[in-house]
Amino acid sequence: MTADAAPDGLAALVSRARDGEVAAFEALYRAHVGRVHGLCRRLVGDWHLAEELTQEVFVRAWRRLPSFRGESAFATWLHRIAVNRVIEERRARSRRQDREDELDEALDRPAAPVPAPEHRLDLERAIATLPDRARTVFVLHDVEGWEHGEIAAATGVATGTSKAQLHRARRLLQGVLAP
């Protein structure tokens, strides 16, 4: 975080940005873009898609800044926008995949093969191989520190489902990363 984005300065930046000052929003962007991109990258497992989503998150933040009430930290509010945007993208991708699967079945084509475990070398790539729901829960819980109740509320699943997906993600990662 830059010096002008220290906790006291952050409130002033948010206030100025809320009033439409572009330079203040640019400072907020610079202070938070790395963490937002990292979150998006871990959730979607694709650097380029994460770049696109990160930009969309900041566009949404700019548009919604007048509604930011300050009841939570700016970073928390921004991360919530990022998680929601990733979930929206995942749902849209799932719908597209469902349509493609229907077309594949109609054309009697097999689904694309899953990469062999020997091609998954490091933790980031291993996380990227997790199924979407397991990856989301793993990143939000183990990387970002969210509680299962928060994850459940953000993703629209039961708390028990969140716990089960975390267990599944850890088990899958052990299988991929074990020597």
What is the three-class DSSP state of 24? helix
Task: Identify the architecture of domain 1-112 in CATH.
Answer: Orthogonal Bundle (1.10)
pLDDT score at 13: 92
Q: Would 1-112 and 114-179 be classified into the same CATH topology?
A: no
Q: Quick check: pTM over 0.75?
A: no
Average pLDDT over every residue of 5-30: 87
Q: At which residue do the structure tokens 């459940």 appear?
A: 152
Distance, in Å, from the CA atom of 169 to the CA atom of 105, rounded to the nearest integer, reads 29
Domain chopping of the chain, boundaries:
1-112, 114-179
pLDDT tens, 76-107? 999 999 999 999 998 888 776 766 666 555 55
pLDDT tens, 113-160? 444 555 445 788 888 889 989 999 999 998 888 999 999 988 888 999
**Whole-number percent of the chain with pLDDT over 90:** 54
Distance, in Å, from the CA atom of 106 to the CA atom of 36, rounded to the nearest integer, reads 40
Average pLDDT over every residue of 26-39: 96
What is the three-class DSSP state of 130? coil
Give, in words, the CATH class of 114-179. Answer: mainly alpha
Distance, in Å, from the CA atom of 156 to the CA atom of 150, rounded to the nearest integer, reads 10
